[in-house]
A and B are shown apart, each in its own frame.
Chain A
């Protein structure tokens, strides 16, 4: 079954600290992996997209890694800020018979406190 599992479900960290969110997937055939940030009451916003051949991609203080062999990805947030409080969603794009299909993880809820 094509699934995307994220851990932890939720996380609380102090402002200024780093954190790493995990994503494991069983999606096949794989096309690309995306991380989205979803603020409370808003729609998801794309942070990074990585293909099979890319094992790291940065967007400011966000760095995503991908290990396509073990089917794992992580999102590392450096020097966290209060505005980083959000849900982070891992999404895997799989190659389907009629085009690509996105499989969404349930998200990790991050709370950054002062």
Chain B
């Protein structure tokens, strides 16, 4: 039982390159999320998927796209990376949404640098 697994752990991109961050969970959770964490700031929600087949924008969606491939997997794509997207990216999952007592489980993160 691995929980939430993110790949890759580290990535360096040049401005304008594209890449996809992968996330998979083995807890049979319905909801999945992508966050970014920047120094001195709280985690900010990029996109989320309340259930398989649905995706919605979060607080900072510009420059990103997502795919809920199946119940287990939720990927985040940067089509044309910019230095402002240098950050640590976390994927999370929860049983159903973020309502009362629904705990989010986080992956170990992907450290992305865009030069």
Contact = CB atoms under 8 A, between A and B. Distances in A.
A101 B98 contact: yes
A34 B97 CA distance: 15
A89 B42 contact: yes
B18 to A, nearest CB: 24
Interface of A: 4, 31-32, 34, 41-46, 49, 51, 89, 91, 93, 98-107
Given A41-B109, A43-B90, A43-B92, A102 B101 contact: no
Interface residues of B, number: 24
Nearest to A32: B100
Nearest to A9: B40
14 contacts: A32-B101, A41-B109, A42-B109, A43-B92, A43-B106, A43-B107, A44-B106, A51-B100, A93-B99, A99-B97, A101-B98, A102-B104, A104-B42, A107-B42
Interface in B57-115: 90, 92, 97-109
A113 to B, nearest CB: 22
Given A41-B108, A43-B107, A100 B99 contact: yes
Nearest to A101: B98
Contacts of A103: 42
| Interface class of chain A by DSSP | strand
Interface of B: 4, 40-45, 50, 56, 90, 92, 97-109
Given A43-B92, A43-B107, A46-B103, 15 more contacts: A31-B99, A31-B100, A41-B108, A41-B109, A44-B90, A46-B104, A51-B100, A89-B43, A93-B98, A102-B98, A102-B104, A104-B42, A105-B42, A106-B40, A106-B42
Contacts of A42: 108-109
A37 B97 CA distance: 21
Nearest to B97: A99
A99 B50 contact: yes
B56 to A, nearest CB: 8
Contacts of B40: 106
Nearest to A105: B42
